[in-house]
């Protein structure tokens, strides 16, 4: 039996933008992510954490600043063959560490799969608790006020944040 290469998590580079766009587009087709343009991903490639197995990018997510205090886990996508392996959790954990290093106070996510994020210590909050997101993205979205996503938050203060707990990674397609 052939052993699979381990997954490593690292910061993306502009040269990874096309594959990141492909992962997001595949998840978009499943009806769980908002569209992202290749040009937008190119500009913000260094905000993405990517999961790499061998030479293949198998997952990604962006740490998107919403304000000086709040950052968002955006466009979490995991290749369908890699779900349930912990790839999505590893990516979110890396973004959480990066957000702490960059002095954000809380990390948020907007998702159709709240249980996935609850398993990593996030809590469901009213959308109005994240005005940064509403004014930055939601108001210009065609799905505004009818997106069906849950607003999720985790504090980045070590004393208040719960450690990530294993969760079914298959829910990553809903993030």
Over residues 84-95, the mean pLDDT reads 92
Furthest CA-CA distance within the chain: 52
CATH number reported for the structural domain that contains residue 21 in this entry? 3.40.630.30
Residue 1 lies in a domain: no
At 1-41, the pLDDT tens digits run 667 778 899 999 999 999 999 999 988 766 667 778 899 99
Closest CA to 74 of 99, 103, 100: 99
89, burial (CB in 10 Å: exposed 0-12, middle 13-18, buried 19+): buried
pLDDT score recorded for residue 29: 63
Residue 67 lies in a domain: yes
Residue 2 lies in a domain: no
Q: Which two tokens stand for residue 17?
A: 């933008």
Query: Count of domains in the chain?
Result: 1
Q: What is the bridge-based pairing of β-strands 150-155 and 106-111?
A: antiparallel
Q: Which domain holds residue 78?
A: 7-174
The pTM of this model reads: 0.82
At 101-143, the pLDDT tens digits run 999 999 999 888 899 999 999 999 887 777 677 666 665 665 5
Residue 122 lies in a domain: yes
Please tell me the total number of residues recorded for the chain in this structure: 175
């Amino acid at each position: 039996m052939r052993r699979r290469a381990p997954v490593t998590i690292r910061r993306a580079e502009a040269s990874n933008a096309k594959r990141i766009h492909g992962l997001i587009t595949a998840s978009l087709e499943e009806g769980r992510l908002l569209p992202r343009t290749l040009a937008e991903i190119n500009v913000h490639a260094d905000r993405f954490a990517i999961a790499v197995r061998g030479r293949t990018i198998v997952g990604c997510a962006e740490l998107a600043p919403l304000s000086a205090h709040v950052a968002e886990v955006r466009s979490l996508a995991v290749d369908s063959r890699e779900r349930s392996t912990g790839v999505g959790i590893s990516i979110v954990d890396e973004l959480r560490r990066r957000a702490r290093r960059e002095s954000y106070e809380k990390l948020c996510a907007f998702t159709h799969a709240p249980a996935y994020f609850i398993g990593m210590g996030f809590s469901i909050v009213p959308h109005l608790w994240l005005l940064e997101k509403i004014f930055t993205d939601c108001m210009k979205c065609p799905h505004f006020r009818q997106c069906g996503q849950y607003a999720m938050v985790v504090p980045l203060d070590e004393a208040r944040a719960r450690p990530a707990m294993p969760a079914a990674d298959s829910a990553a397609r809903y993030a």
